[in-house]
């Protein structure tokens, strides 16, 4: 029984000490990188189209706005088409080879989410856009330029 009391007293002592322990809070400040001021957020859809040209695809953002997608062609994929066999007298390819289907492969380069107010609220770029430095928006127009 003596061991049990010692364990209980030791446990209560640890609980009391833990309750009195000091906590330390650290606050970290982050400094913006030199190019951080250049952002597409808040820009108009017209500014995006002016800088990037017409988008290759437009989609709904599901919240009353739209998504502008800019893609580039990365290659061409070909495959044999499947379908019912063609009778020999109607087959344009008498050697019996299956016709080939060609399809462009497109990859997104940039995406801009445009809110119902016509302003960019989110954007995404592929790694090659950052490498080429095309991610920076053009300088804001001054009132005298408009």
pLDDT digits (tens, 9 = 90+) for 86-96: 555 555 555 55
Q: Would the pLDDT of 109 be above 80? A: yes
**Lowest mean pLDDT across 37-46, 85-94, 100-109, 116-125:** 85-94
In this predicted model, which residue has the larger pLDDT, 115 or 7?
Answer: 115
- Mean pLDDT over residues 122-139, rounded? 83
Rounded Cα–Cα distance for residues 110 and 72 (Å): 10
Which of the listed ranges 18-22, 97-101, 130-134 does the model predict with the highest average pLDDT? Answer: 130-134
Rounded Cα–Cα distance for residues 113 and 111 (Å): 7
What is the model's pLDDT at position 18?
60
pLDDT digits (tens, 9 = 90+) for 16-59: 666 565 777 777 665 555 555 578 999 999 999 999 999 999 99
Question: What are the backbone dihedrals phi and psi of residue 7, each rounded to the nearest 5 degrees, phi first?
Answer: -65, -40
CA dist list (Å): 22 to 25, 39, 97: 10, 42, 79
Q: Would the pLDDT of 131 be above 80? A: yes
The full DSSP string for 74-122 is EEEEEEE---PPPPTTT-S-TT-PPPEEEEEEEEEEEEEEE-TTSBEEE
What is the model's pLDDT at position 118?
95
State how far Cα 32 lies from the chain centre: 21
- Full set of structural domains in the chain with CATH: 40-82+99-139 (3.30.1450)
Question: What are the backbone dihedrals phi and psi of residue 10, each rounded to the nearest 5 degrees, phi first?
Answer: -65, -40
């Amino acid at each position: 029984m003596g061991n049990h009391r010692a364990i209980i007293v030791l446990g209560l002592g640890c609980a009391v000490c833990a309750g009195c322990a000091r906590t330390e809070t650290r606050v970290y400040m982050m400094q913006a990188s030199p190019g951080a001021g250049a952002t597409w957020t808040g820009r108009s859809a017209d500014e995006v189209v002016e800088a990037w040209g017409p988008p290759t695809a437009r989609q709904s953002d599901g919240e009353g706005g739209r998504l502008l997608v800019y893609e580039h062609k990365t290659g061409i994929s070909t495959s044999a088409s499947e379908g019912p066999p063609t009778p020999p007298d109607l087959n344009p390819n008498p050697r019996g080879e299956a016709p080939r289907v060609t399809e462009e492969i497109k990859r997104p380069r940039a995406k801009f989410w445009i809110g119902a107010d016509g302003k960019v609220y989110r954007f995404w770029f592929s790694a090659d856009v950052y490498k080429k430095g095309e991610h920076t928006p053009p300088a804001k127009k001054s009132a005298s330029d408009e």
